[in-house]
Chains A and B, each alone.
Chain A
Amino acid sequence: MLKKVIILLLLSAISLYAIEEHKIKPLMDAKVKKVLLVLKNKSLSQKQKEKKSIGVMDGIFDYHTMAKISMGKRWKTLTANEKKQFTKAFEKKLKYSYIDKLRLYKNQKVIIKDVKKVKPTRITFETQVIGLDGTYKVIYLFYKNKHNNQWFIYDVNLVGVSIVQTYRKQFASFLKTKSFKQLLKSL
């Protein structure tokens, strides 16, 4: 009897956990398709397209964590207010960069590859953009937030280059010679 109880307990725990994880693939699938539909919609102006595609992708990006990683060790030395300001500025920068890349979109095909669980707390979602003369890998990296057990994007890898890592290196070398305020301004 006790065995049954334990098994039941285990089963219910597993099913709860799995749902959140299995959400990633259909969710990202739908989101990518939605963005492509928006971009292909000729009745929308460029501005509307940008706003809509940002809206689609927004909720799954954890800008706070991205800002924190990009700041590296300096993050701990910042005041709460500075952290807030920086996160806001960084989010804006990322969105601006994303919008700018969207402008380059010219009906390229996007193939959705598989979702891979690389670690218990890390999942990668791979897509391929078919360009005019080659294919480009775009990988979205998810981590599991320990507080609410939800998965969020903390980095995007474009053709082998991590966006957050690139900012992290840039910020570190910038801060070697310049102040945090100057960094905020340059963002």
Chain B
Amino acid sequence: MKYVFFSLILTLLLFQGCTAKNELPLQANLHEKTLNTDQTAIHTNTIKNCTTCKDNTNEFEDEFGDETENIIDPLSGYNRVMTSFNDKAIVYVLNPVSEAYATILPQPLRIGISNFLHNIQFPIRLTNNILQGKFQNSSDELERFIVNSTVGLGGLMDPAETYMNIPAHDEDFGQTLGHYGIGSGFHIVLPFFGPSNVRDLVGLSVDGYASPTVYIENIEKYKIPNNIDQSIGILSAEFVNKNSLHLGEYESLKKDAIDLYPFLRDTYEQKRVTQIAE
């Protein structure tokens, strides 16, 4: 009996040796030869030939949910028209303006403006982080605001992120509502702002109170603009500045769409779900 066990262990050890031998070069290969396309080609072929495999399918179907599910979209007619309006506004107005703007202002300056505008919107992020009970993030935001407003030359630079590794935590009231389980409601495409929904529209209006760049009557002494026109001016400058840092991205994204409106709607809603979950 002992002999049998002995031989068993011996064979096992031998096999272990075999696998180890096979594994070692594999591991060594990793660093140099992982990019060997021949190897990877074999890898794919095994998959392609496997057209009859039934495994994993149901798993994926569960993971991705019902794709034929009808989305409640009572405003789809209006939304489609507004999507094509926004599309034309981006292609024929925003992009040419941003391109001209980008040739006048050097990129570091445009990044500075973007940092500055992001920095002064700090009340929105702080309030919403607190409202969602994210206290670490709130203290990060507070620290960022103090560091960037002083060392970062009034917010033009972002030393908090670059040198101190304190990331920004973008939260808005739409996300706060979502955090407490409020559904998105139906989809609404806003002129110029693009895709939104009932919940986020409410969020946007509430955040307007916290934002120093949005003019609201009676509380104008807490705000930078003195009237609506100035508020719109700041907003347009923000749009153009932001777009000048993202030229070509909208066009590239558009190419992935089979039908633009549902594509933008779905990507927006998916993105919001992820942002709320974070």
User: B271–A133 contact, CB under 8 A?
Assistant: no
* A-side contacts of B114, CB under 8 Å: 132-133
- B19, CB-defined interface residue at 8 Å: yes
Contacts between the two chains (Cβ within 8 Å), count: 170
Closest Cβ neighbor of A84 among chain B residues: B51
Interface of A is mostly: helix
| Stretch in B131-139, B186-194, B223-231, B245-253 with 4+ CB within 8 Å of A | B245-253
Contact call A169/B5, Cβ cutoff below 8 A: no
A132 to B108, CA, bound (A): 9
In the complex, the answer to whether B55 meets A161 with C-beta atoms within 8 Å is no
CB A57 to nearest CB in B, in angstroms, measures 9
Cβ-closest 6 pairs across A and B = A59-B40, A160-B274, A172-B67, A72-B67, A146-B55, A133-B114
Other A-B pairs beyond A9-B12, A69-B61, 7, CB < 8 Å: A1-B2, A5-B9, A26-B34, A84-B51, A143-B56, A166-B267, A176-B68
Pairs A–B under 8 Å by Cβ, sample size 19: A8-B12, A19-B27, A30-B34, A31-B34, A55-B37, A59-B44, A62-B47, A65-B56, A69-B64, A121-B56, A133-B111, A145-B56, A148-B46, A161-B271, A162-B64, A166-B263, A168-B67, A169-B67, A176-B68
**A interface residues, Cβ below 8 angstroms from B:** 1-2, 4-5, 8-9, 11-12, 15-16, 19, 23, 26-27, 30-31, 34, 55-56, 58-65, 68-69, 72-73, 80, 83-84, 96-97, 100-101, 103-104, 121, 131-135, 143, 145-148, 150, 152, 154, 157, 159-162, 164-166, 168-174, 176, 186
